[in-house]
Amino acid sequence: MTEVLVAGGTVVTVDDENTIYEDGAVLVADDEIRDVGPTAELESKYDADETVDASGRVVIPGLINLHVHSGFIRGLAEDLPVWEWLVEHVDPTHRALRREDARAAYELCYAEMAKAGITCTLDMYRYMEEAAEVVDDYGLRAVLSPYVADRDGFEYFPSVQDNVDLVERHHDTADGRVKVWFGLEHIEYCTEAAYRRVADLAAEYGVGIHTHGEESPKKAQELTDKYGMRPIEVFEDWGILSPKTVVAHCVWLTNREIEVLAETDTSVAHCPTSNEKLASGVAPVPKLLNHGVPVGLGTDGIKENNRLDVIQEMKNAALLQKVHRLDARAIPGEQALRMATMGGARALGLDDEIGSIEAGKQADLVLLDFQQPHLSPHFGAENVVPNLVHAAMPSDVETVFVAGDRVVDDGDFRSGDQDAIIENYDEKAKALVERRDNEEWA
Ligand SMILES: [Zn+2]
């Protein structure tokens, strides 16, 4: 067994009491957190093999990105509302996507997220066998939920059977770091039969379901007119809501829909930056939290964000509610941080394993260098969380542990060659866009 003592930092545990140790330490034993507490206490109790000096650093649990699509067209599909943007840019790019492109996207997006302190991701994309391999190679943690679609015109998306194959081959692999769920793109892409079959299969395999709720008010109304009930009520009717279901966005909800989410213990992936950029609206997050609905934070993809950065999502989640409700107390820093860590962990059913710095959990830790002008002054527990949420940046992330292994060390991505990843991705992106724009699609 190898013991590493991360010592002398400000440890923000996100435990039930929001405990912060100002001169704190974490003892990592192999892949687990063995102990957390004051540095002096842990130094006297343990004789670790290695000590990591965390002075001037803030230690937080690994961030969880509860909704992302790996992909390509960052900065190439701008200034459009969600449904125009999907039809004009996103779907045509999907048609042209090949397996080797998807792999390059996973390599780049997972490297970007690791460097931003994201240790666990709920990704919805295609050719996800490649994702399973990249997550394993890079030493990260992910829940994979493919973009299943079965309506006419979306034959290039994976089928329910493809998703079953992925579950059978990759669920609970890489020492438990890779999980596979069922993914359903959206009601406009999937039939009622697909939702019902996935509900049965998810129960049979004991895995979760990830899908999109409504972003656009116009689409929410169209679906209500079509089905005679609100979109979340349609999901309930089709049997997919459960404690193992994560619905992304949920911007436009009636009180009844919020009650349905609460009654079924279904989780929401709130994506504030994406909702702002696509002019979707403001999700009723304080109301969801008051009803006990688990809420985590998602970046959504690089095409709608344009950064895979959960620190930014914490800030935007807080600011969006404050300005929308004209209430400066809406979403305090502690709540934003909790959504980005424990909220995501609970949504994924992994709250016994990740989401906080507590003995017995997996050693997923992020050290941020707070010896920076924009993170000063240092008043310890008094201002560390507000500064983390409102002032920190991915470039402040110095070291990232996943299951006790360092995937980022001193700011460097350790699991792959960053320059080669970027070069390959750039090449694949250019060829993909050219193919998309020049080929005739049947
Ligand atoms: Zn999405």
CA of 68 from ligand 1 middle (Å) equals: 6
Residue 150 lies in a domain: yes
Distance 213 CA to ligand 1 centre (A): 9
- The dihedrals phi and psi of 295, each to the nearest 5 degrees, come to -125, 125
For position 415, what pLDDT does the model report?
Answer: 94
Ligand 1 centre from 256 Cα, in Å? Answer: 23
Count of structural domains within the chain: 2
**Residue 319 token pair:** 């600011």
Question: Is residue 102's pLDDT more than 80?
Answer: yes
Q: Is it the case that residue 82 has pLDDT exceeding 90?
A: no
Please check whether residues 150 and 251 belong to one and the same domain. Answer: yes
- Please, which pLDDT band fits residue 199 given cuts at 50, 70 and 90? very high
Same domain, 17 and 160: no
Q: Verify that 121 and 201 share a domain, yes or no.
A: yes
Identify whether 418 is part of a domain.
no
Cα 16 to middle of ligand 1, angstroms: 30
Q: Which of 348, 377, 402 is the last residue of a domain?
A: 348
Ligand 1 centroid distance, CA of 148 (Å): 13
Based on the fold, state whether residues 55 and 74 are members of the same structural domain: no
State the pLDDT at residue 318.
98
Closest CA to 256 of 282, 277, 273, 232: 232
- Give residue 149's domain range: 63-348
Instruction: Compute, in angstroms, the gap from residue 187 CA to the centroid of ligand 1.
Output: 13
- 80: CA distance to ligand 1 center in Å? 15
pLDDT at 440 > cutoff 90 = no
Q: Cα dist. 434→71, 77, 103, 429 in Å?
A: 15, 15, 18, 9
Q: Tell me, yes or no, whether 39 and 140 share the same domain.
A: no
- Residues 114, 145, single domain; the answer is yes
- d(CA 248, ligand 1 centre) in Å: 7
Per the domain annotation, does 353 fall within a domain?
Answer: no
CATH code of the domain covering residue 131: 3.20.20.140
On whether both 86 and 112 belong to a single domain, the answer is: yes
Q: What is the pLDDT of residue 80?
A: 86
- Is residue 164 a part of any domain in this protein? yes
Q: Cα torsion for 318, 321, 326, 332, to the nearest 10°?
A: -40
Locate all alpha helices (DSSP H) within 246-332, ordered by sequence. 255-264, 272-277, 285-290, 310-325
**Cα of 157 from ligand 1 centre, angstroms:** 15
Percent of the chain whose pLDDT exceeds 70 = 100
Ligand 1 midpoint to CA 301 (Å): 7
Mean pLDDT of 412-427: 97
How much distance in Å is there from the Cα of 123 to the middle of ligand 1?
9
172 and 41 part of one domain: no
Task: Give tens-digit pLDDT for 388-409.
Answer: 999 999 999 999 999 999 999 9
Which residues partner with 33 through β-bridges?
Answer: 28
Q: How many DSSP H helices and E strands does the chain contain?
A: 17, 18
Split at pLDDT 50, 70, 90, the class of 439 is: confident
pLDDT of 88-97, one tens digit each? 888 899 999 9
Residues 105, 43, single domain; the answer is no
Does residue 330 have a pLDDT over 60? Answer: yes
The answer to whether residue 124 is domain-embedded is yes
> 173 pairs with which residues across the strands?
178
- Per-residue confidence (pLDDT) for residue 85, from 0 to 100: 85
Residue 358 domain-assigned (yes or no): no
Whether 300 shows a pLDDT value over 90: the answer reads yes
Statement to judge: residues 112 and 237 lie in one domain: yes
242-273 pLDDT, tens digit each: 999 999 999 999 999 999 999 999 999 999 99
Mean pLDDT of 32-52: 98
Same domain, yes or no: 82 and 34:
no
Residue 145 C-alpha to ligand 1 middle, in angstroms?
Answer: 11
Of 295, 318, 348, the last residue of a domain is 348
Same-domain pairing of 179 and 161: yes
**CATH number of the structural domain spanning residue 25:** 2.30.40.10
442 has pLDDT over 70:
no
407 lies in some domain = yes
Average pLDDT, the chain: 96
